[in-house]
Structure 1
Amino acid sequence: MTSSARPSSTGRSRRRSVPSAPTSRSSATSCPARRPCSPSTLTSSSAAGSPTSRPTASAPATRSRPSASAATSHRPPARGPTSPTRSPSTPSSGRSPRPAPCSGAPEAAARLVATQRKELTTLSPATTKTSALWYSSGVDSPYVGAGIGAPQMIMDAAGLTNVFASVKDTWTSVGWESVVAADPSVIVLVDATWNTAESKIKTLEANPATKNLSAVKNKRYITLPFASTEAGIRNVEAAATTIDQLADLNSLSK
């Protein structure tokens, strides 16, 4: 409690007690327990005191936070995952780079083509018209050489007439009735380890529809290894072999 002097009419000073500001939680102006103080509570509790000295609520002390720029300025730079070391020649996809073309390969290919064309001009194909069936595989339905593939090229180079040259395909499946109707003069047999020429001959001679064919009855067969009948560098060899075998067959028939 503080006192202030006010003069009286008698000239003597009379002291008047003035309530002091609250100093503890047990005073009349303390906030209720577990309730935050509000400005209205503080004003009403100090209304009994001096009108010239009102206690005010002081703002709670706050800690200054460093700015984002200051916080990050002392932070070590972030490091991402270490990327694997990649040589300059390795593409980003991880695949090995495409090898450079072999030196001299185009020239070597051109020489090979020129050589094979020259060998073709030295062949002596058959001059007499000789119809031929190119029998590749198949029992119930024969798989034969058609008009636009390697079989047709080989037969053309050998002077044979393909009975299925009108079919615009490399190979095709046909019915035995079509083979019987064509009645080829010779039959070219493709000899493969999984389907030998000998097995084809047995099929032709055992089938009632084909055993009476002229080529079957006279055993006019031309046998070619499978590897030489696919389009490739052995086609000239296949054509030359066909010419030689056909000449042997013709000499036997005289």
Structure 2
Amino acid sequence: MEKHTKICSFSIRKTTLEALDKYVAARGKRSRSELVSELLDFAIDQKKHQHDEENIPGDGIIPEKISIKWYESLYFNSLRDYFYSGDCWFEIRLHGISVSEEGEIEEYDSLVDKLNEFHEGLINDLNVKLGKDSDLARTFIGAIKSDDVKILAVRVRGTQEYIPGVGPVRNVVYAVTLVNVKENTHSKDHFYLDYHAIQVLDVREIGRAPLSTLVRKKNKQLAPGYLYWMPITIFQNKMLVMGVRRRALSDQAIALVKSDDVIMVTNQAIRVKKNRK
């Protein structure tokens, strides 16, 4: 069987080695060699894409073509004859989600169930207020059955607490809208509007630093290749900021959007409440 590792030796600063050993010991399960390999892989990957990050306007004026693509993708903008504004976001609250190894799966299932309830309620309201055969009702029902229109659900806040006799549970809030993804996923433009990279910033932070700085300070695990960070809406004192990425680096993200009916964005961290003693 072919080996996937090879032994080599090199010098390293004592202080670096001490820091490395402390890091390994803190995690418990990872060997020094495995960690060094991962760090080298990451550094090489960053270096490989370094030219992509050079001369990129961090917070310059976002080209009109990019902002228009987002605006036109909002499904409710196609209903201008019925709505005053196309920037329609709805609140979905999920309570008492049990936290386990499958916590994220349970959160997704709970969100889908809640969205189905919301959808049925919205259709019923349209049928009652406008009539089952109204143009708006027919247009809306037809659109949400299309593969091109997806539900975009962004977690804007979440808390976790321990309930005696039940265990740890989560309560989360999502901002939800509909987006027509076809012009984004099938486009030949050099950029891609990365829904899964949407970041949630407190409006009180805005102005303290460039958006790109605020985003990268909050999420240090962001992949390279982002050209711009574009504000898309303000929801409950939170600013939603979308990453505009090089299309050449976005194949995996595009495939995920095409396959899922719900684009679930969970970049916003869960705040753990401490139990009172």
Same fold (TM over 0.5): no
Kindly name which structure, 1 or 2, has the bigger radius of gyration based on alpha carbons. Answer: 1
TM-score (norm 2): 0.22
Higher relative contact order (CA 8 A, sep 6+): 2
TM-score by length of structure 1 reads 0.23
Please state which structure has a larger fraction of its residues in helix: 2
More strand by share: 2
